[in-house]
Amino acid sequence: MAYKISDECLACGTCKGECPVEAISEGEKYSINPDVCIDCGTCAGVCPVEAISPAE
């Protein structure tokens, strides 16, 4: 299971540098590659608007 970034994303870029496996890509909204994510939760902890959570 991977983490997901919701529409709340401000594209601030805070999470991208924290991911240990570089699973996060830039864009209008950032996104997480589920095939690369190791489900560590680091990004969720640093997001200023709590836009990142475990995928259902």
Binding site for ligand SF4 (CB under 6 A): 2-3, 18-19, 21, 23-24, 32, 37-43
The amino acid occupying position 27 is G
CB of 20 to ligand SF4, least distance (A): 6
* CB nearer ligand SF4, residue 28 or residue 55: 55
Burial 5-41 (b: 16+ CB within 10 A, else e): beeebeeeeebbeebeeebbeeeeebebeeeebeeee
CB of 4 to ligand SF4, least distance (A): 9
CB of 2 to ligand SF4, least distance (A): 6
